[in-house]
Amino acid sequence: MTKSFFHEKIVLILSLLILNNYLLISLSLPQVLIKVNFLFFLTTIAIFYLINFSENLYFKIFFIVLVFITLGTPTVDWDPRSIWLFHAKMMFYENSVSYVADNYAAFSNNDYPKIAPAFASSLAVLIGHWNEVFPKLSFLLIFFPPVILMYSFFKSTQYIIFLSIVFFTISKYLFSGWADGIVAVYFGMSAFLMYLLIIEDNNYYKKHFVINLITICFFIILTLVKNEGTILLLILFLTTFIIKLFKKNTSKDIYRLLLLSISFLPIILWKYFCYIKGIGSAFINPDLISNLVLRLYEFENYKLISYFIFLNEKFLLCSIFFLLSFWIKKNVVVFSYISISTMIYIFILFLIYLSTPFDFYWQLDSSAARVVKSLSFLLAFFGLYNLKDYTMK
C-alpha cells in the first residue's frame, strides 16, 4: 500500500464522484450540482498530479499522452457515435436519464446502462456546449481510478509492465469512445479485489475500510457500464462461491460477500425502470431458444465461435503469459480462480452467440474481438500479479 493511503484515497474519491454524477443525473437535479461534482473530480486529479509530482510519474505521463490522443481523434465507429455519445448528447439536452422512457431511437439500445454517457454528458455541461469530440474524454477519465489503484500493489518496474498490459489489451478502446475497454479494466480490477477480500487468506486488506468501499464502487461501476458488466460480476460471485465450497469454508467471509452483493442494486433499479417503461433489448426476443436449438447441433458454429475467440492474437498471448506465470510460480488458488471465471464466461459467450437473433457471422465479426478483451486483460493482469513476488534463484 502507498504511504498514508494517498493513492487509495484518490481512487475512492474519484470513484464516488463518478457514481455521484450518475445519481445527480438520474434524479434530474440542477446542472450546477453536476458542474460542481465534475469540478471536484478534476480538482482531485490535479491534486494527484501536484502532490509529489515525481511519484507514479509513468502513469501521469501515460495519461497526459492519452488525453491528447483522445482530443485529437474523431469519433467514427458505430458504437461510440450512435450509442454511447448519442445517449450522452441526449442526456446533455434533457438533463436526465428518463429520456429513454419514450424509447426514441431504439436502435441505440436504450436499455444499456448509462454511467459512461452520463459522465460524458456532464463534461459537456461543465464546458457549456455539446461537441462530437471532447465528451469522449470522459471515457478516458473513467479509467483513472482502477489504473491508479494498481500503483499500490506493484513496484515501479512491475507497474510499467501493468501499464503496458493495459495499452496492449485495451489499445484504441482507451480513447475512441467505446465502453468495452472500461468493462475489461473494471472487470479485471473487480476480480482482483474480490480475490483479496474473499478468497485470499491474508486479512490485511480485509480490515481496511477504504479497500472495501473501493471494491463496492468498482462493482457498481462495472454493472453500470454495459450489460456484460453485470454478467461478469455474477461470474465473479459464482466463481468465489465455487472455490469457497471446494475449500469447505463457505461460512467464512459470508457477511462480507453479502455486503458486496448490494453492488447489484443500482443495475436492478435501472433494469426495473426499463421494464416498467417497456424498454426491451434487441438481444432478448422470443426467437432466442429456437435460434439456440437450430444452431446447437451444427459443429461449424462451434468452430466459427472458437476461431473468433481462441484465435484472437491478444487472447492467445495473454493466455500463454498466464499459463507461463503459473508454470513458474504454481499458485493453485489464483490459477483455479481465473480458470473457472474464464471458462464460465466462455461458456456464456458460446450460448449468447448460438442464440443471437442477428446474422451469426456478422455478430461474431462485429463483437467477438471486443468482448474477449475482458478475458485478455484478466489473464494478463493475473499473470503479472502471480509473478509479483517472484525472484530468480
Q: Specify the pLDDT at position 270.
A: 96
Instruction: Check whether residue 85 and residue 106 sit in a common domain.
Output: yes
| DSSP per-residue letters across 150-165 | GGGTS-HHHHHHHHHH
- What residues contact residue 348 under an 8 Å CB cut-off, 6+ apart? 231, 235
Number of domains in the chain: 2
Measured in residues, the chain has a length of: 393
Residue of higher predicted confidence among 102 and 126: 126
The pLDDT tens digits of the residues spanning 156-207 come to: 899 999 999 999 999 999 999 999 999 999 999 999 999 999 998 777 888 8
- pTM to 2 decimal places: 0.96
Categorise residue 126: left if φ over 0, alpha if ψ from -120 to 50, beta otherwise: alpha
Whether 113 shows a pLDDT value over 80: the answer reads yes
CB atoms < 10 A from the CB of 242, how many?
A: 16
Instruction: Check whether residue 224 and residue 324 sit in a common domain.
Output: no
User: Percentage of the chain surpassing pLDDT 90?
Assistant: 77
The pLDDT tens digits of the residues spanning 12-46 come to: 999 999 999 999 999 999 999 999 999 999 999 99
Instruction: Check whether residue 312 and residue 381 sit in a common domain.
Output: yes
Instruction: Check whether residue 273 and residue 289 sit in a common domain.
Output: no
In whole angstroms, what is the distance from residue 232 CA to residue 188 CA? 10
Whether 391 shows a pLDDT value over 60: the answer reads no
CB atoms < 10 A from the CB of 87, how many?
A: 24
Nearest residue to 235 (alpha-carbon basis) of 268, 188, 196: 188
Which of 220, 251, 281 terminates a domain? The answer is: 281
Instruction: Check whether residue 256 and residue 187 sit in a common domain.
Output: yes
Instruction: Check whether residue 161 and residue 235 sit in a common domain.
Output: yes
Instruction: Check whether residue 101 and residue 183 sit in a common domain.
Output: yes
Instruction: Check whether residue 204 and residue 321 sit in a common domain.
Output: no
Domain that holds residue 229: 3-281
Whether 329 shows a pLDDT value over 60: the answer reads yes
Instruction: Check whether residue 10 and residue 127 sit in a common domain.
Output: yes
Nearest residue to 85 (alpha-carbon basis) of 152, 213, 7, 177: 177
Categorise residue 202: left if φ over 0, alpha if ψ from -120 to 50, beta otherwise: beta
Which of 253, 281, 309 terminates a domain? The answer is: 281
Calculate the alpha carbon distances from 131 to 123, 161, 173 in Å: 10, 35, 19
Which of 223, 258, 281 terminates a domain? The answer is: 281
Instruction: Check whether residue 240 and residue 380 sit in a common domain.
Output: no
Instruction: Check whether residue 40 and residue 154 sit in a common domain.
Output: yes
Whether 287 shows a pLDDT value over 80: the answer reads no
Q: Specify the pLDDT at position 324.
A: 97
Nearest residue to 339 (alpha-carbon basis) of 234, 239, 197, 257: 239
Instruction: Check whether residue 124 and residue 247 sit in a common domain.
Output: yes
Q: Residue 103 gets which letter from DSSP?
A: -
